[in-house]
Amino acid sequence: MNPLPFFKMSGSGNDFIIIDNREAIVPETRLDELIVGACRRKLSVGADGLILIEDSPRVDFKWRFFNADGSVAEMCGNGARCAARFALIHGIAGRQMAFDTLAGTIEADVGARSVKLRMTDPVDLKDGISLDLEGTPVMLAGSINTGVPHVVMLVDDVDTVDVVSIGRRIRRHAYFAPAGTNVNFVALAPGGRIFIRTYERGVEDETLACGTGNVAAALLLAHTQGMTSPVTLTTRSGSDLTIYFEWQGDRFAEVYLEGDARVIYRGELWEEAWRR
């Protein structure tokens, strides 16, 4: 098969392979193999996820988003910002655009290197969740679905927390079965700064940033700590993500996520780069 043209992009350190698939150039019968193979680090391009941009009959475009393990994700905030900038660069949409995801329609406003997204309204807000992790009680600030499910755990210092070990156990805890959850560790630092680290479902490891996780953390901090919009968090990559929101009676609405979306390089993906 012919090499596949692609962009490598990064949203706050969360990296993606993005392919314009409006002409169905990606082989559906080998899609799982392509995703897992291309997302392997050191052996291929390497990425946290792969995004296919496709035609939509009602908005500017639609995407299909896949985690590095080949699983489908309903939404990814950092990936969505990258997809929006990709669409502007390729003339698929103007600076103000809308595109379909499995979580719903996302609106985006693309700047020079940053993108502001209007997210779908969050659902399933719960606070004060107590879990038993192999005999150790753990208290979570809460959980919320911001396009995908997230939990937030407040910690004293994000630098010392065992993100992978604790995150993996919470991610697969029976309380969140069968879908599992993403896990965010948040520390409130002196001077008002907020630091966050995330264990991502589907990647099954810590990533340098997670857009929907930052949204979840900001909303749960607003709900449990009384923080007001906007809330800015510093991700593991060192990049900041800013979340805007409104509290409307008993729910959050008008939720926006703003942060960078960088083009790293463009190239052609040869079959030998992802073939097993």
Phi, psi for 161 (deg, rounded to 5):
-75, 145
Helices (H), 6-143: 31-38, 77-89
Phi, psi for 157 (deg, rounded to 5):
-150, 115
Among the options 53, 76, 218, 257, which is catalytic? 76
Among the options 129, 152, 210, 216, which is catalytic? 210
Kind of pairing between the strands at 104-110 and 61-67: unpaired
- Among 20, 29, 35, 22, residue whose Cα is nearest residue 1: 29
- Residue 82 annotated to the active site: no
Residue 225 is inside which H or E element, if any?
A: helix 211-225
Q: Give the span between the Cα atoms of 207 and 237, in whole angstroms.
A: 9
Residue type, 63: W
Contact 262, 246 (CB under 8 A): no
- Coil/strand/helix, residue 272: helix
Contact 4, 257 (CB under 8 A): no
* Helices 77-89, 211-225: inter-axial angle, 10-degree rounding: 130
- Among 167, 179, 178, residue whose Cα is nearest residue 138: 167
Residue 41 CB neighbour total at 10 angstroms = 11
Q: What is the CA radius of gyration of the chain?
A: 18
Contact 15, 47 (CB under 8 A): yes
Q: Which residues are catalytic?
A: 76, 210
